[in-house]
Chain A
Amino acid sequence: MLILGLAAAGARAEQALQDLRIRLEGDRVVVSLGYSDPRAGEVLAALEDGLASEIQFQLRLVRRQRVPFAFLGDRLVSELRLVRTARYDRFQRQYRIQSPAEAETRHEDARGFLEAFFALGPLPLGELAAGEAGQYYVQSRVRLSPVKIVFPLKLITLFYPQASSPWLRGELPR
């Protein structure tokens, strides 16, 4: 049962879509990420039940390794990890999105909330060496937990980890 549940969560995570957009502002890499997940309904249902949902974005700026050293693997230049927690405020009848790195936002309607919850950026990810845009690429990954497990139930995640979407790779514009 547990394994089936885990496999199903993983499968749904793989069905999710990421829309990774990258642009260069001078030598700065600016990234925005749109995300759509078939579990959006689960998120709303969980919030209506008084539970919290969590989404974690992970963005990486990676530099390709030169040919003689390709066996060492590509080099991570910078990484951005952002976690958002969503709740439904039953007193004010608003969806609230909180994050340690962002200001809290409130949304009256579910659609607006989902758009805000699943969208990231644009955010600066890192800086490039001048004229070497072709040597870099960006990776993104999203982990959605329709129900953010609280302590002490967090123990469940030891045996029932939340599946992340596969890494999406995006090339920098030339």
Chain B
Amino acid sequence: MRSIRQGTTATGLVVLLLIFVVLLALIVVFFQQILVGLAAADRQPNQVLYLVLVVFPLALLGVIVFQLVRLARERAARRPGARLKGRLLLFFGFVALLSAVPQALLSISFISSTLSFWLRAGIGESLTAGLDLSLAYYHGLVENLARFNSSPLVPVILQDLGRNPERLWKNVQTANSQVHFIQVFQDDGTELLFRGRREGRLREAPTAPGYLPKEDRSDVSLLRHAALQAVGGRTLTVVVGTALSEGFDQKAATLSSSLETFSQLDRYNRLFLAVLIAFYLLFSLPVFLLSIMVSFLLSDEIARPIVNLEEATRRVAEGDFSTRILTRPADEMSVLAGSFNRMVSELSRSRSKLLQAEKIAAWQEIAQRLAHEIKNPLTPIKLSAQRILRKYTGESVEFRAILEGSVAAIIREVDNLNDMLAHFRDFARLPVPRPEACRLREVADEAAAIYGNASVAIDTSRVGEHSMVTADRSQLKQLFANLFQNAIQAMSDGGRISVASAEVSQEGRRFCRVQVRDTGSGIAEDIRDMIFKPYFTTKKQGAGLGLTIVERIVFDHGGSIRFETQAGVGTTFIIDLPLGA
């Protein structure tokens, strides 16, 4: 029996699942490497990752192209299911696109609109204006220091240097409130005065007049200006300074950084957008390709039972009735496959019956015609021979003896031919069975009573006492009789015939299985195919119709017959007669 097995996509799904997990791992690693790594460590990501991220979708694309080419070839070769698979693939691909395209459009639109939002003119101008304000404030302070320190007011104020330093400081604050401290050095670098915020005090005199570098401290930044002033015949170095408001530096740095980021966004706007889209596609494309691969698997899964059914149908149409479809029990297709298998079984059985019936009918016709053609001349031959013997009055004793012997031989052979023709007639006129409920054991016992003898024992004890079959009783008896006769002839030195019965189920149908076993010489291998053929016999006497009639009776009752034989051990005929539902 040839079977078509339903395949499974479990392996394929596991592989896809693994690929999906790898993809997720790649996404996580890549995210860590690129986004976090770039931001934190300020380094280039691993080049191998680039390679993997490019190779991975390319490999998926390669597999898909390969599958598409294979499908195209299958379609060109008109392979079963190829068109269906193609349509299913298109359908699944379309569904995947339906979900992927809006998502992609939404994401790209979101990225684009977010960038546009951040790059809108107002923000850039605000940042620039903020920074300009900061710069103006800063430079205003610086210039104010220089202006004040260079003004003619300072030498006047410095008149109080030795007399009244507190008044001097008060005058400075009155003259310029943005001066937060003042320090005066004499020309040898010795400090003469310091007033104001303590953090502004210099340890050493500045080497040159002018702006001093801004001094950044943790909590404050200090701006200073140094100028040379001639006071009382001495040249003094006067340092005035101001402390920037708390957090000014930090805020200015944040503003500068924001402006830097904004300027870069503005400068690389299009490139950044393209990179973001490429970045998005880098991850979404493999996912989309994976969904296409899943589509291939699902198409295969859906199309496979139909392809198998088509293949099985084609085989049956070509005459291979041994074809069966195997399915998983829980599969929805199992019902259809089961029905198909039962249909093929029925078809096979009907076809066998039909062939057998046709064969038997042909042989019956031959037998009938043969009997008719041969029987007609036999009677005149026999009568003529008897008449010749009766009319002979000659005196030759020798001739008389020859004549009597010859006529006796003619009559004997004519009688033999008549017997044979009677078998032919019986075979040709085998009536249509008239089924009735029969006790199997009773019928077997009746046949056994005729053929049982001293050398051959017939045992029917293993036939169920209450085993009932619906059959033509006389034909059933003839079946047993012919089998017994056949067995007895196979056991020339005696032996044993045993009959057994049992109820069996096959493909949902119930049968009474009858087994007739002998202990004869078995059936030679070279004639096993011919024992049911009409007029085949290995015996000198016999028409070769015994087993043919048995097979005919079995088929007429909707059953089947087969045998198992072993040289020197014996033969068992196994007959399955259908039981009612």
Contacts and interface: CB of A to CB of B under 8 A. Distances in A.
A138 interface: no
Contacts of A150: 257, 260-261, 264
Contacts of B256: 50, 90
B108 to A, nearest CB: 15
Contacts of A149: 264, 268
Contacts of B278: 159
A153 B34 contact: no
Interface string A132-174: 0000000000000001011111111111110000000000000
A2 interface: yes
B288 to A, nearest CB: 20
Interface string A38-66: 00000000000111100000000000000
Contacts of A157: 38, 44
B275 interface: yes
Given A91-B135, A91-B252, A158 B34 contact: yes
Contact of A160 (B39, B252, B271): B271
B213 interface: yes
A152 B265 CA distance: 9
B51 to A, nearest CB: 13
Contacts of A147: 264, 267
Q: How large is the interface on A (under 10, 10 to 19, 20 to 34, 35 or more residues)?
A: 20 to 34
A3 to B, nearest CB: 12
Interface in A60-109: 90-92, 106
Contacts of A155: 34-35, 38, 272, 275-276, 279
Interface residues of B, number: 32
Contacts of A91: 134-135, 138-139, 214, 252
A92 B264 contact: no
A52 B260 CA distance: 8
Contacts of A51: 260, 263-264
Contacts of A52: 260
A152 to B, nearest CB: 8
Nearest to B282: A158
B414 interface: no
B100 interface: no
Interface in B83-133: 131
Contacts of A49: 263
Interface in B413-463: none
A156 B272 contact: yes
A158 B45 contact: yes
B259 interface: yes
| Dominant secondary structure of chain A at its interface with chain B | loop
A109 to B, nearest CB: 16
B274 interface: yes
A150 B264 CA distance: 8
Contacts of B45: 158
Contacts of B259: 50
Contacts of B275: 155-156, 158-160
A147 B134 CA distance: 24
B373 to A, nearest CB: 101
A156 B271 contact: yes
A155 to B, nearest CB: 5
B214 A92 contact: yes
A154 B37 CA distance: 10
Contact of B213 (A92, A159, A160, A161): A92
B214 A153 contact: no
A13 B272 CA distance: 23
Nearest to B53: A158
Contacts of A90: 131, 135, 256
Interface string B232-270: 000000000000000000001000110111011101100
A153 B44 contact: no
A51 B35 CA distance: 21
A90 B279 CA distance: 36
A153 B35 CA distance: 10
A151 to B, nearest CB: 4
Nearest to B266: A49
A159 B274 CA distance: 10
Interface in B327-342: none
B225 to A, nearest CB: 13
Q: For A149, A152, A157, A160, which residue has the most chain B Cβ atoms within 10 angstroms?
A: A152
A91 B253 CA distance: 10
Contacts of B279: 155, 158
A90 B130 CA distance: 13
Q: Among B35, B261, B263, B275, find the residue whose CB has the most chain A CB atoms closer than 10 A.
A: B275
Interface in A100-126: 106
A115 to B, nearest CB: 20
Contacts of A2: 271, 274
Contacts of B134: 91
Nearest to A100: B42
B298 to A, nearest CB: 35
A151 B38 contact: yes
A172 to B, nearest CB: 30
B261 A153 contact: yes
A96 B357 CA distance: 111
A154 B278 CA distance: 14
B252 A153 contact: no
A152 B39 CA distance: 7
B162 to A, nearest CB: 35
Nearest to A92: B214
Nearest to A162: B44
5 contacts: A91-B214, A106-B213, A147-B264, A155-B34, A158-B50
Given A155-B279, A160-B275, 13 more contacts: A2-B274, A49-B263, A50-B256, A90-B131, A90-B256, A91-B134, A91-B135, A91-B252, A147-B264, A155-B35, A155-B38, A157-B38, A159-B275
Closest 8 CB pairs of A and B: A154-B38, A151-B39, A91-B138, A153-B264, A155-B275, A156-B275, A50-B259, A159-B275
